[in-house]
Amino acid sequence: MTVPAPCSASSEAVLQISDLNVAFRAGSGWLPVVRGIDMSVERGRVLVLLGESGSGKSVTLRAVVGLLQQEGARVSGQVKVEGDDVTAMSQREVLELRGKRVGFIFQEPMTALDPVFRIGEQIAETIVRHRGATWKEAQARAKQLFDLVQIPSAERRLRAYPSELSGGLRQRAMIAMAMSCEPQLLLADEPTTALDATVQIQVLLLLREIQKELGTAMVFVTHDLGVAAEIADDVAVMYAGRIVEKGSAEQVLLASRHPYTQALTSCVVRGSYRDLALGELSGSPPDLSQLPPGCSFAPRCSQRVDECGRVDPLGSECHPRHMVSCVKVEAYAGL
Amino acid sequence: MSVDLARLQAPLLQIPDRGGPAQPLLIAKGLRKWFSLSDGLFGSRTVVRAVDDLSLTVRKGETVGIVGESGCGKSTAARLISGITPADSGEVILDGKTFWAPRTRIGAEGRRAIQMVFQDSASSLNPRMTVTETIAFGPRAHGVSSAKAHSYALDLLAAVGLPPARFAERFPVQLSGGQRQRVNIARAIAMRPRLLVLDEPVSALDKSVEAQVLNLLVRMRQELGLSYLFISHDLNVVRYISDRVVVMYLGQVVEEASSDALFAAPRHPYTQALFASKPSLDPRTRVAAAPLSGDPPDPVNPPSGCRFRTRCPIAEAICAATKPPLDPVPSGDDDHKVACWAQVPGSGHTRAPAAVGALQ
């Protein structure tokens, strides 16, 4: 759908997604959830997928680890992790990929960790499975990992069950598990949303530190602009299964061009302007089974022109590496 | 959308004002709630000190925000104040008259006067009632005829931005989260309350919808002259909507001040850390270091003395020994109260200001 930006197509890309489409079965038909996404993440960089619920950001993440086919979804397009296409992999190859080359951090560690095994055993199991280490080596490695994610009294915590740890410690343990095989790519699905404010910032800073230190590429899904501003190198904004704007964190968060991103940033309650009406986005996201013709955001857009109801905007660069899918912006830039 | 709420023909009468404008609408005094948990069949009993000696005041027309992290007792506080959960001890006074005290019943008028909106918009609505039935239910229970209650419910739906032609006959599952929260708000104001207790009303909503609901709440406050007790963990939201803010930590109030004063100069080390933990919204000015380490401790065994001392960067011996009182700050207005030994003159804390008593 888009011409990939020349620099992002370099061989350094750890993750390269092109024209990814995902549809789920809904009644007798198919519901398009992700509609033609292109993106790439290079080594050592953090891409934040920003969007509201139902925009397709978590589904995109799950496509990277091949979790969708099992759920009966229809997936097309390419998802390349270090050059290997995940969509073409056998079940066995996908199992090798998960945990070893790609680490995953979920929003709710309580449901992602097994409640009947000790945390240390769960981490060691991953290392034994993917690294062929002995149980003893794996346990020692688990201890190192707990030090890496700054869990105090690591020995005791490794012997604990998930329910015995606080939310912040559980999420740190989850990060330790995701990093256990030193993956090239780390996927994080709202990892700090369930945490308290004073704990959220600790976990964000920890992730940022580990990721920069080890040079891991990371895709980070969130709906929170503040969290995005803290961690992102690049930001891609999703709406109704599409990326509508993509660029560096500063381009997207401070100088956004797409009307949806602009509305989203103006909705954020900043506290200072008390009692002034907040910027509002009227209506709600479209029903994916009955998408309007043309631009999906047009019915809610305050800058709509007639053309928006007819033309589905393709993304185009308004600045180097700053991509926007909007008819108006494209006309502006004289493209 | 812009139906003036004050012009609606409400079937329930306005609850008359008793104490005049100077009488606070709500005074809660010394509320305490300990939940006891038993550890299995033969286990020892443990006590969660959810709320310990909570006092707060809401003036007429004022919005008071309560902030704190999970487990700090803010939701329990909301339930104690609205009388849903009976407190172990303490008292709630509504417009000069006892609203709740141990072993008393809340009268019909009292039940109407304080209404609540909960965080989970789905589980707080009856899935088998249409939204109109839900909104009409309260007034009917208070003696309004079905027909009148029904037509009032339709008016309210329109007033909260849900055109009755499209929404009146819908069930909760046919609505989005933001729409359901509007129904919850309409149901609360159908009783013509004086105080709305809002427990994290926008926390489960997307940002664009959060803004819609907050705008509705601000408009309702202006048109109906309501007072709010607004509970949230989101500092930006609380600052946006509140006149005064109460900060809670592990079941106790640690600081209380006008919104402006608190956000301009927080005094309690916990409040300062909470503010410093807020993501910046600007990728150029990121938070450099986490202000606190670790999670809040378990409310089952709260630390002795000041409950924040185990995470506090300036804790000293006195903090472990005795609980600091919630007193007005030494150099400031009387409305700004803080519970920290470092703010009490002559407390023995090395950062405490010099005692002024010696001069008198």
Place of tokens 């023909």: B9
Read off the pLDDT band of A3 (50, 70, 90). very low
Q: Closest partner residue to A167 among B179, B237, B295, by Cβ?
A: B295
Rounded to a whole number of angstroms, the distance from the CA of B129 to the nearest CA of chain A is 23
Inter-chain CB proximity A226 and B215 less than 8 Å? no
> A96 or A281, which is more confident?
A96
Q: Count A/B contacts: CB-CB distance under 8 Å.
A: 133
- Checking if the pLDDT of A147 tops 50, the result is yes
Q: Rounded CA gap, B76 and B99, in Å?
A: 17
Q: Closest partner residue to B214 among A270, A278, A282, by Cβ?
A: A278
**Chain A residues 102-131 within an 8 A CB cutoff of chain B:** none
Q: Where does A41-166 have alpha helices with state H? A: 57-64, 91-97, 109-112, 119-131, 135-148, 154-158
Q: Which residues in B lie closer than 8 A to residue A202 (C-beta atoms)?
A: 290, 292-293
Q: Which residues in B lie closer than 8 A to residue A204 (C-beta atoms)?
A: 279, 287
- Checking if the pLDDT of A6 tops 50, the result is no
Q: What pTM was estimated for this model as a whole?
A: 0.86
What interface predicted TM-score (ipTM) does this complex get? 0.81
Average of pLDDT values for A41-51?
95
Judge contact between A223 and A53, C-beta under 8 A: yes
Q: Which residues in B lie closer than 8 A to residue A194 (C-beta atoms)?
A: none
Q: Rounded CA gap, B122 and B171, in Å?
A: 10
Name the stretches of chain B with pLDDT < 70.
1-2, 38-44, 332, 355-360
Q: Which residues in A lie closer than 8 A to residue B163 (C-beta atoms)?
A: none
Read off the pLDDT band of A335 (50, 70, 90). very low
Q: Rounded CA gap, B223 and B220, in Å?
A: 5
Q: Which residues contact A247 (CB under 8 A, 6 or more apart)?
A: A234, A235, A319, A321, A322, A323
The highest-level CATH class for domain A10-101+181-270+279-332 is: alpha beta
Inter-chain CB proximity B237 and A224 less than 8 Å? no
Q: What's the pLDDT tens digit per position in A197-216?
A: 888 999 999 999 999 999 99
The full set of domains in chain B, from first to last, is: 5-24+59-79+107-249 (3.40.50.300), 266-360 (no CATH)
Q: Closest partner residue to B240 among A232, A269, A284, by Cβ?
A: A269
Judge contact between A224 and A275, C-beta under 8 A: no
Q: Which residues contact A231 (CB under 8 A, 6 or more apart)?
A: A46, A48, A204, A207, A208, A220
